[in-house]
Chain A
């Protein structure tokens, strides 16, 4: 079995200094021994709540952060001692909304990053045109538009185009579809699967979007508090919740925060939940309930939510998804 990415016992502690006069030093353990392996041609997802250690892992593998302990190899190259070789074989997309020159067109931006990687002449121009076409930016006129005129969707496409520019074996993407409209997100997902299955690229992706991870990843690692708490294929992970049903409740205008709702559910219903509030103020609570106890749970949950002043919009039972596995393993506000 050929593994292109190997992470072994990665540990990282951030030192945060606070205060000007009374200097306080806080140590935040971001990774506590993260290990995983990714095969060639595989799409591997890392999911977890904020602060779980997803981005720290990505940063270490992208040679942008030194681990305190452990080691990681990409195509056999050590990310610390052979960083330059690693940089030659990886393509990285970190944040989609920034990372380019505002007064340069998409074509010029990619040409700059291509030059930086030592590409030149006709080959460089061919690669730039190819990736612009591949991510659909040519159709949108993105090659001639300044980056400052780009929509978020176009920025995400350009960020992925840059990651693919030098035809890398390994593609590392941190939340590549964050904030994108559904059609843009879908076309990016399709592209990533195509790259892995047709071109045998290794794709490592982090995301908050469980649906996305479920759609495209061959294997998934669930990370929480700096540790991988589960790792398997999506289908096998879903068997973990086969004896349970997923209950989804939507409410409007609760007087308490999402974290307080999660706390209430934990205290009064002994339930692990995921609570999200969208930009329209709609709060969505998702919980895993043992088979046969769903009706009673909804009844009690509605009563708890009414005390927060929230107006019930809907309550339903849905098929368990990867998100439910996540609730079972690390359920809390996400």
Chain B
């Protein structure tokens, strides 16, 4: 447990230092959801009006939904990216051997390390859209956004498992291949963040159900549509995400352990 906390603290510390030392990184972190929303709005209005979008997506406030869903998507995908890319980043930097020669187990560093970073970046991402939410929906909107943030945090747990699979495959496939690079667009595609999931082929709709992001998106839609909080729906979502967390993390941990063993058989850095 000591080294779980150590891995989390170290990872978060280096991230905060990079943010402090690199203002460009900090700027885009805050404004990225707006850039994404602006892009989606621009693309959307080329295909149809915002009213039409509102009807098709079944949301009362489409602008709010676009901004909020951009933030949700960024945040939810963040954890997969953080875990899957982290090992490759360390290999590029040359820090991987030193991390593996440190006391925390590799699997501990790979899974626990990115969690505080992903939670913080989700918080920033959601917080960055709060001014718009407050403007459009007032206090109720703010409360709803914090419920969405809680959902995002919950959805991160099963996504850790997915990230671990991507990280494990990346290491097994020569330690340079970024599996997350192809996985992330796929998750976005099947999750129906910016369009109704019903327009996807049936197979992709079923596959989409295996990714937790879709449940957060649905919760956000429901929150954006109803005046009062639909507690029963939220409880169901929490239940699904919790079950996914147990299932995914139990199944995927051996993959990273196997990857660690293979990397150690091959050697962590080249002569």
Please report A residues at the B interface, Cβ cutoff 8 Å: 14, 51, 55-56, 59, 62-66, 84, 87-88, 90, 92, 94-95, 97-105, 108, 111-113, 115-118, 120, 146, 162
Contact = CB atoms under 8 A, between A and B. Distances in A.
Contacts of B102: 87, 113, 116-117
B97 A99 contact: yes
Interface string B1-27: 011001101100110011001100000
A81 to B, nearest CB: 13
A65 B265 CA distance: 6
Contacts of B101: 62-64, 87, 90, 92
A94 B261 CA distance: 20
Nearest to A90: B101
A99 B103 contact: no
A98 B7 CA distance: 21
Interface in B255-271: 261, 264-269, 271
B98 interface: yes
B14 A64 contact: no
Given A92-B98, A102-B93, A116 B10 contact: yes
A203 B213 CA distance: 51
Contacts of B105: 84
Interface residues of B, number: 33
Contacts of A65: 264-268
Given A65-B268, A92-B98, A118-B3, A108 B93 contact: no
Contact of B93 (A14, A55, A100): A100
Interface of B: 2-3, 6-7, 9-10, 13-14, 17-18, 21-22, 93-95, 97-105, 109, 261, 264-269, 271
B18 A101 contact: yes
A113 B269 CA distance: 18
Given A59-B267, A116-B10, A64 B100 contact: yes
Given A101-B95, A146-B21, A59 B268 contact: yes
B19 to A, nearest CB: 10
A236 B105 CA distance: 43
Nearest to B267: A65
16 contacts: A56-B267, A66-B264, A84-B105, A87-B101, A92-B98, A100-B94, A101-B95, A104-B14, A104-B17, A108-B14, A111-B13, A116-B99, A116-B103, A117-B103, A118-B2, A120-B9
A64 B264 contact: yes
A108 B268 contact: no
A240 B99 CA distance: 42
A146 to B, nearest CB: 7
A120 B3 CA distance: 12
Most buried by A among B10, B104, B261: B10
Contacts of A112: 10, 13-14, 17
A90 B100 CA distance: 12
Given A66-B264, A104-B21, A99 B104 contact: no
A145 to B, nearest CB: 11
Given A56-B271, A64-B264, A116-B102, A95 B7 contact: no
Contacts of A111: 13
B99 to A, nearest CB: 7
Contacts of A56: 267, 271
A248 B9 CA distance: 55
Nearest to A115: B10
B21 A117 contact: no
A48 to B, nearest CB: 12
